[in-house]
Amino acid sequence: MEAINRVGEFTISLIDNPLIPVKKARANHQNTDFTKDLILVDSLGNAQKIGTSDTFNGIGEVMTYGDFYTQIYTFDFYGSNAFSLATNFIALLRSQRAYNLQQSSGLTFYRPSSITDLKQLVGTTYNNRYQIEVKVGFSTNVNINTLRIDTAEWVLRFVEE
């Protein structure tokens, strides 16, 4: 699954409130009522590769090649409760539920350091919009069927001079 989809699913599970929609930003949806709560998840930056792993399962005869990345994700909170949603999200990232969700989703959320107030002027009214940036670690894996070597067969050849 694509990393942004995993981050979105994590956010939905962490917020655990069906009245607050969580959507992927830039997905061609229109928000016409900025007083309703909404969370948009996005990432515009590149993913930084921080490591690799190669593991072999001899019983299953599968070689797994993994890459580890970190990437900055933005979480935009809209609506009348935008600021409290943003601060609650930051607090929830330190919870046991967040830890369990990170373990099951294969994500690592680092601690956000700030909340940016990005009020929007729509028509003649200002609407609440707060944004936090969070560095998220994730991995990708590719499994390749690889036969194991049970017994090495040696053939010695002598070269005559």
Per-residue pLDDT tens digits for 15-36: 999 999 898 887 766 666 777 8
Average pLDDT over residues 120-144: 84
pLDDT of residue 44: 82
pLDDT of residue 142: 93
> With contact defined as beta carbons under 8 Å apart, do 41 and 73 qualify?
yes
pLDDT of residue 77: 93
* pLDDT band per the 50, 70, 90 thresholds, residue 87: very high
pLDDT of residue 124: 61
- Helices 3-15, 96-105: axis angle to 10 degrees equals 150
Mean pLDDT for all residues in the chain:
88
Distance between CA atoms of residues 64 and 35, nearest Å: 47
The whole-model pTM stands at: 0.79
CA angle 86, 125, 22 (to 5 degrees): 30
Distances (CA, A) of 62 to 19, 54, 148, 153: 43, 11, 9, 22
Q: Is the pLDDT reported for residue 1 higher than 60?
A: no
